[in-house]
Amino acid sequence: MPVLSCHPIAAHKKLRIPEWYVSSLMMDRAVDAILRRAVLDRRHDVPYLAGYSVDGKTIYIDRHLPRSFQFRGRRIEVDRYLILHEEIEKTLIDRLGLHYLHAHQIATRAEQAAVRADKIQWRAYDGFMQKYVKQIGDEKLEKLPADLDLKPYRDEHDYDLVARMSKAMAKAETKVGRKAMARKAPLAEVKKKVGKGKKR
């Protein structure tokens, strides 16, 4: 199926029921529509497994979280469900002004519906996630995205974590700034030499 089609993963089938009914196929199509708009980054440390940039353009999933788990002989890839959750949560917070905890509840229900639509037990999926929430939560924060939205962590009143994250993010911004300066320095030297050459 072409990637640019209306729903590249969900099957192209005619529904036998009205489209406004609850349907696994329609849920799959809805997930596909959201995934097409998401930019995924898996290169950073992200407390609580996943998050989003302040501008909402990037979804972050912790770099240590495995991309899949085994369920009844099937390999279940988890990114699509996390992206769905984060996109819905961020939209509800930014567009409707919902508190994080309320947006999180709605996003979790949508995530649960998508998991069940793919014939996966929520208990198995959630068990896999909770195992890594604990492991990832205990690790050092060495590589946080510089633009990670901290609102969810503040709304959870996890001020110790927010302080650790802010420190790590400031360090990340400093590194990005140093790299930019390092790239600009040779260019400045070239321009300087070119300028001297023109004066002659």
> Is residue 10 domain-resident?
no
Q: What is the pLDDT of residue 84?
A: 93
Percent of the chain with pLDDT over 70: 73
What is the 8-class DSSP label of residue 158? -
Taking only the tens place, the pLDDT of each residue in 177-198 is 555 445 455 545 544 554 555 5
The whole-chain average pLDDT of the chain stands at 81
Q: What is the pLDDT of residue 14?
A: 55
> Is residue 153 domain-resident?
yes
> Is residue 23 domain-resident?
no
Taking only the tens place, the pLDDT of each residue in 38-47 is 899 999 999 9
Amino acid in position 157: H
> Is residue 17 domain-resident?
no
> Is residue 15 domain-resident?
no
Q: What is the pLDDT of residue 35?
A: 85
Q: Is the whole model's pTM more than 0.85, yes or no?
A: no
Contact 112, 27 (CB under 8 A): no
Q: Would you put residue 49 in left (φ > 0), alpha (ψ -120 to 50) or beta?
A: left
> Is residue 182 domain-resident?
yes
> Is residue 56 domain-resident?
yes
Q: What is the pLDDT of residue 197?
A: 56
Number of domains composing the chain: 1
The residue with tokens 């369920």 is 71
Q: What is the pLDDT of residue 187?
A: 47
Q: Provide the domain limits for residue 154.
A: 38-199
Taking only the tens place, the pLDDT of each residue in 3-58 is 444 445 555 455 455 655 556 777 778 888 888 888 999 999 999 999 999 999 99
For residue 57, the tally of other CB atoms under 10 A from its CB is: 12
Q: What is the pLDDT of residue 167?
A: 86
Which tokens in the block code for residue 51? 């998050």
Spell out a b/e string for 95-126, using b for 16 or more CB atoms within 10 Å of the CB, else e. eeebebeebbebbeebbebbbebbebeeeebe
> Is residue 62 domain-resident?
yes
